[in-house]
Structure 1
Amino acid sequence: MASGISFTLNGTDGKARVGVISTPRGEIRTPAFMPVGTAATVKAMMPESVAATGADILLGNTYHLMLRPTAERIDRLGGLHRFMNWEKPILTDSGGFQVMSLAGLRKLTEEGVTFSSHVDGSRHFVSPERSMEIQKLLGSDIVMAFDECPALPATEETVAQSMRMSMRWAQRSRDAFGDRPGHALFGIQQGGVTESLRGESADALRAIEFDGYAIGGLAVGEGQEAMFGVLDYAPDMLPTDKPRYLMGVGKPDDIVGAVKRGVDMMDCVLPSRSGRTGQAWTHRGQVNIKNARHADDPRPLDENCTCPACSKYSRAYLHHVFRSQEMISGMLLTWHNLHYYQELMAGMRAAIAAGRFAAFEADFHAKRAQGDIDPL
């Protein structure tokens, strides 16, 4: 990468990869999980707390930030890092997915997308050029090309037309991004669940040349089996010397399966969203803290976890504050979930480096199969 951001592959175990993305704002250890800071905040968390869980990079949301408080305002206030008090790297998505999924009335043309804001109904236009401009104003370290993500299921013809337009937009994104030392631009592979379309998309992206490559258009309702089916070949179509980013994934077993198939980066709202709805992710699977079985339980959520929720509070307390709708409930469970996700990533990095990823994966599934500890 001539961008001042480089990727070093330090080892492989099967298709699983361990490495480091070096940026002017710090190193990102891969496989990496990126917590989602949609509106310049990881909900219910202080930035220093997110860093304490082991996160090397956050994701910011172009669509939400362009609407409120606006990219221009963030730029005037010194950029997104200063605005949200996060000094480490930030990746911003292009806004394409949210325009397709959240925006009101929208009109899609070759030029771009005109849409109504879900906040106040105001009209906006986003093109590849405008997306690059917004992300430059935000000052993110890793910028995503602007693409269209069709909802699945869709006909193969629809997926093919959409993918080819996204590839034309990828070239326009590359042209508009220009030369920005210290910042990287990632292209996004599309093509649904059709191998030939994924291959055509990968060829187009490689010809344009990006600093990293994302696998888009998955985790949109196709199910894990279909997603893994695509991941069995899609990462192999992308350059081995650049990071591979699977967008919007996922549950812990999705993540382990993706890393096994050669993915380096992932993001998902799940750990924070689950935390706010009383769901905790543990080594033994999911725990629903709102269940009455926890009301008198003095034990921690996970006795092997060192996060504040587990080291300082009981299941009974976590159950009580969730039932009472106290703010600390979402704070503690989100911290726990993010801690668990980062511990999972660290465990995989160590396992790949040691050549024992298969044993790690088997142990991961065996522990989850046990289910939660027995009620008292």
Structure 2
Amino acid sequence: MPRMKFDLLHNDPNSQARAGVVHTDHGAIETPIFMPVGTLATVKGLHQNELKDVVNPDIILANTYHLYLRPGTEILEKAGGVHKFMNWDRPVLTDSGGYQVYSLSANRKIKEAGVKFKSHIDGSYHFFTPESAMDIQRTIGADIIMAFDECTPYPCDYNYARRSMHMTHRWLKRCIDHFHNTPSKYGYNQTLFPIVQGSTYKDLRAQSAEFIANADQPGNAIGGLSVGEPAEEMYAMTEVVTAILPKDKPRYLMGVGTPINLLENVALGVDMFDCVMPTRNARNGMIFTVNGTMNVKNKKWADDFSPLDEHGTAWVDQYYSKAYVRHLFTVNEMLGKQICTLHNLTFYLWLMREARKHILAGDFRTWKDKMVKQMDNRL
């Protein structure tokens, strides 16, 4: 089947920001784009119709490790893949489980052959290899699947980062070989993205970016960032990598981040993002707005009957007051978490689409600098 196609439409004249379109068999993805995280084939707190009609993302993300454990590949295959299982007809990207190599550090053992995991659910043991990660993602049925890698922690010893990077590169070769020797199960095209590693060392990042670029896959990802390093380090590593990765392929920065992080990385040439922050923070009463970040649980909002977000574009922003949403959190009603989730994801997608408009208009840099300053506030 034909490979996924990326059309680069416009470059911002005053930064590295780009506007493009990724074409998949489940639809087009206009970049820059934020992908809501649906770890277990659901974006927490939202119905699929709310996700599609209000947030309106071109693509969402699911997680291989978690879907492998529950409901399992047998159920997903019987369903006809994750799209049919969750009734979602737009593109899906799956994280291969490499992040769990990092996040489940107390419950895993890494070897050249792969990674032995101890399930966080029942303590049972499982073994992931580059080959099995490809097979599982084939069965899940994602449009874009990620190579199996090791995400190093921060801070990370240079020698460890170097050894880990080279192992990730060797795993990538195995992923590519296996991926290209196995068919899609459901009759549509699937695409493999390699992942750049190298921790916060510029020479390692450059070396990894060269290796990944030479792998000549349809798109590329940047991993191992947003794991505790200062934002300046993240931007420095991203800048090194985007200068090397091919311009005619989409670039995906994994696990990033705040609205400000997104805009600064768009300016460095990143096209795709995902992060649990908008949904996780929403469940804790924190919402992002054009004027800064607001904790709706604060007592100062108890008698504030103005709209949740006067400038928001989600229907909940004008429909509910700050006082009412605060009340919902005070009495632990789930509706408060749902309202804030819908707001935050709609805001993230609005921000990316505004960025795209300004890239196409040629004034992204000026708009971005204004927005970053405006959003860097606590309300």
Matched, 1:265 2:266: no
State the match for 1:310 in structure 2: 317
Matched, 1:187 2:199: no
Does the residue aligned with 2:194 lie in a helix, a strand or coil?
strand
What is the Cα deviation at residue 363 of structure 1? Answer: 2.1
Q: Counterparts of 2:206 and 2:119 in 1: how far apart (Å)? A: 34
Does the residue aligned with 1:36 lie in a helix, a strand or coil?
coil
Given that 1:103 and 1:117 are in contact with CA atoms closer than 8 Å, whether structure 2 keeps it comes out as no
State the match for 1:124 in structure 2: 126
Given that 1:62 and 1:95 are in contact with CA atoms closer than 8 Å, whether structure 2 keeps it comes out as yes
Given that 2:196 and 2:223 are in contact with CA atoms closer than 8 Å, whether structure 1 keeps it comes out as yes
Given that 1:53 and 1:342 are in contact with CA atoms closer than 8 Å, whether structure 2 keeps it comes out as yes
**How many residue pairs are counted as aligned between the two chains?**
371
Q: Counterparts of 1:286 and 1:370 in 2: how far apart (Å)? A: 6
Q: Which amino acid aligns with 2:95?
A: D
After superposition, the C-alpha distances for 1:58-103 in whole angstroms (9 at most, x for unaligned) are: 0001111111111222111221011111110000001011133136
Q: Which moved more, 1:349-358 or 1:200-209?
A: 200-209
State the match for 1:55 in structure 2: 57
State the match for 1:8 in structure 2: 7
State the match for 1:21 in structure 2: 22
State the match for 1:77 in structure 2: 79
Q: Which amino acid aligns with 1:40?
A: A
What is the Cα deviation at residue 369 of structure 1? Answer: 4.7
Does the residue aligned with 2:313 lie in a helix, a strand or coil?
coil
2:336 to 329, 332, 336: 329
Q: Counterparts of 2:218 and 2:373 in 1: how far apart (Å)? A: 37
After superposition, the C-alpha distances for 1:14-65 in whole angstroms (9 at most, x for unaligned) are: 2000000011111101001000001110000111211221311000011111
Q: Counterparts of 2:205 and 2:291 in 1: how far apart (Å)? A: 35
What is the Cα deviation at residue 104 of structure 1? Answer: 4.7
Q: Percent identity?
A: 45
Change in Cα spacing, 1:64 to 1:323, as seen in structure 2 (3 Å) is same
State the match for 1:87 in structure 2: 89
What is the Cα deviation at residue 106 of structure 1? Answer: 1.8
Does the residue aligned with 1:44 lie in a helix, a strand or coil?
coil
After superposition, the C-alpha distances for 1:290-326 in whole angstroms (9 at most, x for unaligned) are: 0011111110121121313212110011010111111
Q: Counterparts of 1:224 and 1:344 in 2: how far apart (Å)? A: 19
Q: Which moved more, 1:182-191 or 1:297-306?
A: 297-306
Q: Counterparts of 2:107 and 2:9 in 1: how far apart (Å)? A: 47
State the match for 2:228 in structure 1: 221
Given that 1:10 and 1:20 are in contact with CA atoms closer than 8 Å, whether structure 2 keeps it comes out as yes
2:148 to 146, 167, 172: 146
Q: Which amino acid aligns with 2:281?
A: S
What is the Cα deviation at residue 279 of structure 1? Answer: 0.4
Given that 1:3 and 1:211 are in contact with CA atoms closer than 8 Å, whether structure 2 keeps it comes out as no
Q: Counterparts of 2:214 and 2:195 in 1: how far apart (Å)? A: 13
2:248 to 229, 237, 241: 241
The answer for unaligned runs of 5 or more in structure 2 is none
Given that 1:252 and 1:341 are in contact with CA atoms closer than 8 Å, whether structure 2 keeps it comes out as yes
Q: Counterparts of 1:169 and 1:20 in 2: how far apart (Å)? A: 29
Given that 2:60 and 2:91 are in contact with CA atoms closer than 8 Å, whether structure 1 keeps it comes out as yes
Given that 2:165 and 2:197 are in contact with CA atoms closer than 8 Å, whether structure 1 keeps it comes out as yes
Q: Which amino acid aligns with 1:11?
A: H
After superposition, the C-alpha distances for 1:237-285 in whole angstroms (9 at most, x for unaligned) are: 1011100000000000100010000000000001111111000111111
Q: Which moved more, 1:362-371 or 1:10-19?
A: 362-371
TM-score, normalising length: structure 1:
0.96
Q: Which amino acid aligns with 1:216?
A: G
What is the Cα deviation at residue 105 of structure 1? Answer: 2.9
Q: How does 1:203-222 map to 2 (within 5 A)?
A: 203-222=210-229
Given that 2:3 and 2:218 are in contact with CA atoms closer than 8 Å, whether structure 1 keeps it comes out as no
Q: Which amino acid aligns with 2:25?
A: P
State the match for 1:232 in structure 2: 239
What is the Cα deviation at residue 203 of structure 1? Answer: 2.0
Q: Which moved more, 1:362-371 or 1:104-113?
A: 362-371
State the match for 1:113 in structure 2: 115
Does the residue aligned with 1:242 lie in a helix, a strand or coil?
coil
Q: Counterparts of 1:208 and 1:237 in 2: how far apart (Å)? A: 13
Q: Counterparts of 1:369 and 1:157 in 2: how far apart (Å)? A: 36
The answer for unaligned runs of 5 or more in structure 1 is none
Given that 1:103 and 1:115 are in contact with CA atoms closer than 8 Å, whether structure 2 keeps it comes out as no
Given that 2:206 and 2:240 are in contact with CA atoms closer than 8 Å, whether structure 1 keeps it comes out as no
Q: Counterparts of 1:33 and 1:315 in 2: how far apart (Å)? A: 26
1:174 to 164, 168, 176: 176
State the match for 2:67 in structure 1: 65
Q: Counterparts of 1:105 and 1:7 in 2: how far apart (Å)? A: 38
Q: Counterparts of 2:240 and 2:105 in 1: how far apart (Å)? A: 32
Q: Counterparts of 2:4 and 2:131 in 1: how far apart (Å)? A: 22
Does the residue aligned with 1:219 lie in a helix, a strand or coil?
coil
Does the residue aligned with 2:249 lie in a helix, a strand or coil?
coil
Q: Which moved more, 1:149-158 or 1:262-271?
A: 149-158
Q: Which amino acid aligns with 2:8?
A: L
Given that 1:104 and 1:115 are in contact with CA atoms closer than 8 Å, whether structure 2 keeps it comes out as no
Given that 1:103 and 1:118 are in contact with CA atoms closer than 8 Å, whether structure 2 keeps it comes out as no
TM-score, normalising length: structure 2:
0.95
Given that 1:3 and 1:184 are in contact with CA atoms closer than 8 Å, whether structure 2 keeps it comes out as no
Q: Which amino acid aligns with 1:198?
A: R
